[in-house]
Structure 1
Amino acid sequence: MRLDAGLMGRLAADEALWRDFNDICDCGGRLSGTQSEKRAFALLRERVRAASPANSGRSIPVPYNGWQAKSATLKLPGGTFAPCHPLVRTIATPSSGLTAEVIDLGRGTPDEFEAHKAEIAERIVLVRHELMFAAGTIHRRRKYDMARAHGAVGFLIGGPLAGHVVAGSSGRDSGEGIPALGISPETAAKLARRSTGFPSVTITVETAEGPAETETLVYDYPGQTDEWVVLSAHVDGHDLAESAMDNGTGLAAVLAVARALSPEVAKWRRGLRVMFFSVEEWALTGSAQYVKALGEAERAKIALNVNLDSVAGSPNLAALTSGFAGVEPFLLGVAEANGQSLRTVRPLMTNSDHANFATGGIPAIRLVAGFDDPNAHLRVVLTPADTRDKVAQSELRQATLLTAALVAAACNADPDEAARWRA
C-alpha cells in the first residue's frame, strides 16, 4: 500500500502544484454564476489538457436556480449602518426594508431554539458561525431552517473573524425563505439581548433570480475493469476573498494527482475518474445531480469517492468516512505505510460533495485539514481572510502525496478489500 517511489518522487518535485494553486486563487472567489467561476473552469481544462492531451473529458450540464445579490444594508438601533453580506440565495426584502426585533440565540443549537420557541415568531434570529470542520458542529443551513420553522422573519449570523463579515449559503433553493445576512462578531455583540428588551434593526436586500447553468467536468482514465475510483473537488467558492483554502487547495491537489497517476492507471484494476463539481456551496447541487442520475449498476461500479475539500491551512489531515466503518482500516493502513498521520471521523457530515455519494450508497470520504482545531487557519474559511497566505506549500504537498497514495491503493485493492468498504 506504499506509493511507488517513482510516483512519490514526481509528486514531491512537481512545481506545477504550487503554480496551479496560485493561478486558481488568481481567478478570484469563484462564486457560482460569475466570470470568476468560468475562468476557473477554463483554467482546469487547460491544465488537464496539458497533462493529458488525448483526454478531452466531458462536461455535464448543471441547471440550477441562479441568484445574485445586488445590494444589502443593516441599519442598527440609533440609525447607524453595519457591514453585512447577503447569504447565498437569501430572499429579497421589500424596497422599504424589513424592520423587526432581534433575538440572540447564541450558537443556535436545537435546545436554544426550543427554549425560546415562544419568542422567535416575527423576530430576526441571530446565531453564531461555527468551525465547520469539527465534531458536533451545527451547520448554518440547519440554523436557518430552524429559524424559519419557528416563525422568524429574518436571519443573521455572526462571523468568527474580528472586523469582518461572514459568507455562506442560506440553503434555500428557490421559493419561500427569509432574508439572511452574515455580519461581523462586533455587530453581533451590539445586538445581544439587553435587560431593556430586544434591539430593533432594519434589513434591506435586493437580489436577482432566474434559471442558470454551470457544469461538472469529468475526466476518465480507464483501468483493467469497469470499476472506478472517483477523485473529486469543487470549483465554486465565495466572493469575499480568493476561496484559497476552500477550495483552491483541493483543486490544485486533484490536478497534481491526476497528472502523476494518469499515465499509470491503465495497468491498474480500477480506473480513475476525476471530477470537478460546482454549486457545491449552494447545497451541494452539482454532485447531487450527478449521483441522482446514476443507475444502480453505475453506482455499484464506483468503489470509492475521495473528495478533496480544504486540504491545507493546517498540517493535520482527517478523513470523514461518512459512516462507512469498513473503509477506515484501509485509509489508516495506507497513511501509515506512507509515513503520514491521518485521523478518521466516522459520522456522516453533509458538508461537501462526498455526502451525496455516501447517501447514494457509495463509499465516500472527504479529506480535510484542521479538523477540530480552532487555531487552524481553516477557522477563517468563508471570510475575507480565506487567502493564499494561509496555505503552506508543505501542507498542500503533504495532502497531495497522501491523496495519491490513497487513490493508487484504492485503484489496486483486491475485490474482497473493496467489498469491505461498503460495510
Structure 2
Amino acid sequence: MTEWIGDTFTSDIGWDHLETLVDVGNRMAGSSGERDALEHTRDAFDAVGARNARIEPFDIQGWERGDSAVRQGETTLAAGEGSCIALPRSPDASATGELVDVGYGTPAEFESAAAELDGAIAVVSTTVPDEFDRFVHRREKYYHAVDAGAAGFVFANHVEGGLPPTGSVGTPDDPIGEIPAVGVSKEVGARLIRRHEEETVTVDVDCTTPDATSGTAVAELGPDTDEYLLVSSHVDAHDIAEGAMDNGAGTATIVEVARALADRESALDTRVRFAAFGAEEVGLVGSSKAAADVDPEAVKAVINVDSNVFGRTLKLDHHDFDELAAAGERLRDRFDHPVTLGEGVVPHSDHWPFVQRGIPGYMVSGETEDRGRGWGHTAADTLDKLDVRNLREQSILLTALAVDLARDDVSIPRADTDRLAASLEESGAATGMKVTGDWPF
C-alpha cells in the first residue's frame, strides 16, 4: 500500500509544527521558550495518535546571555548582535591580552602558536582548510586555547554577512567554560586581525548561570515489545535565531513521521519510541541522561534527525553498522531517490550517547555542499531558508526506514566499542574529544 506516501506528501502537520517552533522565539536550553517547545511537541505527538505523550524533565546548568564586547581601552571594537555575541556557557568574566591570530585553529596551528598564547586572546576561524582531513569542532579549538594558557577566545565566522556565530563551550564535568569566549562575524574577525593583531585587547562577557530545568518530549507507537526503535531530534535551539534548520526541522520531521506511522501502526513489528530531547546545544545533556539509563540491548537502533530539510538529499551517517548501511541502500533503491551514506563516525548530536555504548545509530541530516554549519548557529537560521517539499520527502523516506528497521527479520548487532574507538583514532576525531573531555572509551 502506498496511500501513506501521498498522505505524507500533502500533509501540513510537520511544517505547521516547524512554524510553531520557530515562532516560540528563544528556545535556549532551560528557558521558558524551550519548555513551550517541549509542550508543543508533546501535544503534537498526542494529536497525531502517538500514545503516552509526556515530558520527562531533568535539571541542567542554565546560562542566560547579557552583553558582550571586544574592546581596546575605552574604545569598543565589536559589540552587539550583528558584530559580537557571547558563546553559551562562557563564564561571566573579562580578560585582557595580546590578540593572537591562530588561523583555522587546527591542532598544528595551536602548537605553532603555543609560545604566543599564554595570557593572550586567541582568534580562530569557524572552519578548517579544504585539505584538512577532518572538521575541528568549536569546543576542541576552545580547549586547545585553554590548554595553551589563553586568557580569552574569539570565534570568527567564515560565512559572510555580519553573522557572529554561537555555540557552547564547557565540558560534561565543568559545564561553564574556563575563559570568556565570544563569536564575531567574518568581517569583524578580519578587521580585528588587520588592525589589532599583536595589540592588547579585552574580551568582556556578561551573563548569568542559574540552575534550570530542561526535558524530553516522548511518545510511542507500535506493539508493546521490550525492544524498541528510537526516533529522535532535539527541541532546543540557540537564543539568537529561530533555530529553523537546527533543529526545528528535525523535530518537525519526527512529528510528521509519527503521524505517518500512526496510520501504519499495524506495519510495525517493533515498538517505536519518539524522543525530542532538550539541551542538545549545551552538550547533549538530554540524550546523555537518557542513554545512561537504558539497557543497550533494549534499543534496536536510533534514527536521530538533526539539521535536515535545508539540504534536499538525506545524509545517513551510519557509523559503520553494516545493517544500517544496508537499510540505507534498500531505502535508496526502493524509492530511486538520492540518499547519501556517510561512512565516518560522527561524535556530535543526540545519537552519539547511544552509539558510544555500542547501540546502532544514524545521524540523519540534509546534505549540503559547503563545509561547516552554513547559516546554522547564526541569526540567519530562519524558516525562509527551508522548503516544505524537502520536509515531506524526507519524512516519507524516514517513515519507510523506520518500518524497515522495525521488522522482526532485521537484526542489527551491537558495536564493539573498541572498533568505534579505533575509528575515531584513525579519523583524528579522538584528538579533539580527549581535549574536550568527551572521550568515553
Q: Is the 2:360–2:415 contact (alpha carbons within 8 Å) kept by the matching residues of 1? A: yes
Give the equivalent residue in structure 2 for 1:115: 112
**Within 5 A, what are the aligned runs for 1:388-407?**
388-407=383-402
Alpha-carbon distance in structure 2 between the residues aligned to 1:206 and 1:231: 37
Q: Does 1:362 align with 2:356?
A: no
**Within 5 A, what are the aligned runs for 1:343-382?**
343-371=340-368, 373-374=369-370, 379-382=374-377
Alpha-carbon distance in structure 2 between the residues aligned to 1:120 and 1:266: 61
Match of 1:327 among 324, 329, 336: 324
Q: Is the 1:324–1:346 contact (alpha carbons within 8 Å) kept by the matching residues of 2? A: no
**Pair 1:17–1:60, CA change in 2 (3 A):** closer
Deviation by residue 1:4-51 (Cα, 9 ceiling, x = unmatched): 412212211212222222121111241112222122112112212222
Give the equivalent residue in structure 1 for 2:101: 104
Give the equivalent residue in structure 1 for 2:198: 198
Alpha-carbon distance in structure 1 between the residues aligned to 2:225 and 2:133: 37
Give the equivalent residue in structure 1 for 2:19: 22
1:147 aligned counterpart, secondary structure: helix
Paired positions, count: 407
Per-residue deviation, 1:421: 8.0
Give the equivalent residue in structure 2 for 1:35: 32
Match of 2:154 among 156, 178, 181: 156
**Pair 1:89–1:224, CA change in 2 (3 A):** closer
Give the equivalent residue in structure 1 for 2:438: none
Partner letter of residue 140 of structure 1?
Answer: R
Deviation by residue 1:291-314 (Cα, 9 ceiling, x = unmatched): 0122xxx22121110000011112
Per-residue deviation, 1:266: 4.8
Q: Does 1:418 align with 2:412?
A: yes
Alpha-carbon distance in structure 2 between the residues aligned to 1:218 and 1:358: 20
Per-residue deviation, 1:220: 2.0
User: Which piece of structure 1 moves more, 138-147 or 71-80?
Assistant: 71-80
Give the equivalent residue in structure 2 for 1:126: 123
Alpha-carbon distance in structure 2 between the residues aligned to 1:187 and 1:163: 8
Q: Does 1:383 align with 2:378?
A: yes
Give the equivalent residue in structure 2 for 1:168: 167
Q: Is the 1:191–1:199 contact (alpha carbons within 8 Å) kept by the matching residues of 2? A: no
2:331 aligned counterpart, secondary structure: helix
Deviation by residue 1:115-156 (Cα, 9 ceiling, x = unmatched): 11111111011111138xx97211101111111111111111
Q: Is the 1:232–1:276 contact (alpha carbons within 8 Å) kept by the matching residues of 2? A: yes
Per-residue deviation, 1:340: 1.8
1:384 aligned counterpart, secondary structure: coil
Give the equivalent residue in structure 1 for 2:433: none
Match of 1:74 among 55, 70, 76: 70
Deviation by residue 1:67-122 (Cα, 9 ceiling, x = unmatched): 112221221578233131111100111xxx32211111111001101111111111
User: Which piece of structure 1 moves more, 335-344 or 107-116?
Assistant: 335-344
Which runs of 5 or more residues in structure 2 are unaligned?
420-441
Partner letter of residue 59 of structure 1?
Answer: I
Give the equivalent residue in structure 1 for 2:186: 185
Alpha-carbon distance in structure 2 between the residues aligned to 1:25 and 1:167: 17
Runs of 4+ in 1 over 6 A off after TM superposition: 420-423
**Pair 1:234–1:320, CA change in 2 (3 A):** same
**Pair 1:34–1:409, CA change in 2 (3 A):** same
2:116 aligned counterpart, secondary structure: helix
Q: Is the 1:104–1:193 contact (alpha carbons within 8 Å) kept by the matching residues of 2? A: no
Partner letter of residue 13 of structure 1?
Answer: T
Q: Is the 1:120–1:151 contact (alpha carbons within 8 Å) kept by the matching residues of 2? A: yes
Per-residue deviation, 1:397: 1.4
2:274 aligned counterpart, secondary structure: strand
Per-residue deviation, 1:360: 1.4
Alpha-carbon distance in structure 2 between the residues aligned to 1:348 and 1:164: 29
Q: Does 1:288 align with 2:288?
A: yes
Alpha-carbon distance in structure 2 between the residues aligned to 1:277 and 1:222: 21
Partner letter of residue 86 of structure 2?
Answer: P
**Pair 1:59–1:38, CA change in 2 (3 A):** closer
**Pair 1:175–1:420, CA change in 2 (3 A):** closer
Deviation by residue 1:165-198 (Cα, 9 ceiling, x = unmatched): 111111344356110000011111122267x961
Alpha-carbon distance in structure 1 between the residues aligned to 2:18 and 2:63: 27
Partner letter of residue 60 of structure 2?
Answer: Y
Q: Is the 1:325–1:421 contact (alpha carbons within 8 Å) kept by the matching residues of 2? A: no
Give the equivalent residue in structure 1 for 2:257: 257
Give the equivalent residue in structure 2 for 1:239: 239
1:204 aligned counterpart, secondary structure: strand
Give the equivalent residue in structure 2 for 1:143: 141
Per-residue deviation, 1:267: 4.8
Which runs of 5 or more residues in structure 1 are unaligned?
none
1:256 aligned counterpart, secondary structure: helix
Q: Is the 1:327–1:421 contact (alpha carbons within 8 Å) kept by the matching residues of 2? A: no
**Pair 1:375–1:301, CA change in 2 (3 A):** closer
Alpha-carbon distance in structure 2 between the residues aligned to 1:149 and 1:119: 13
Q: Is the 2:346–2:352 contact (alpha carbons within 8 Å) kept by the matching residues of 1? A: yes
Partner letter of residue 219 of structure 2?
Answer: Y
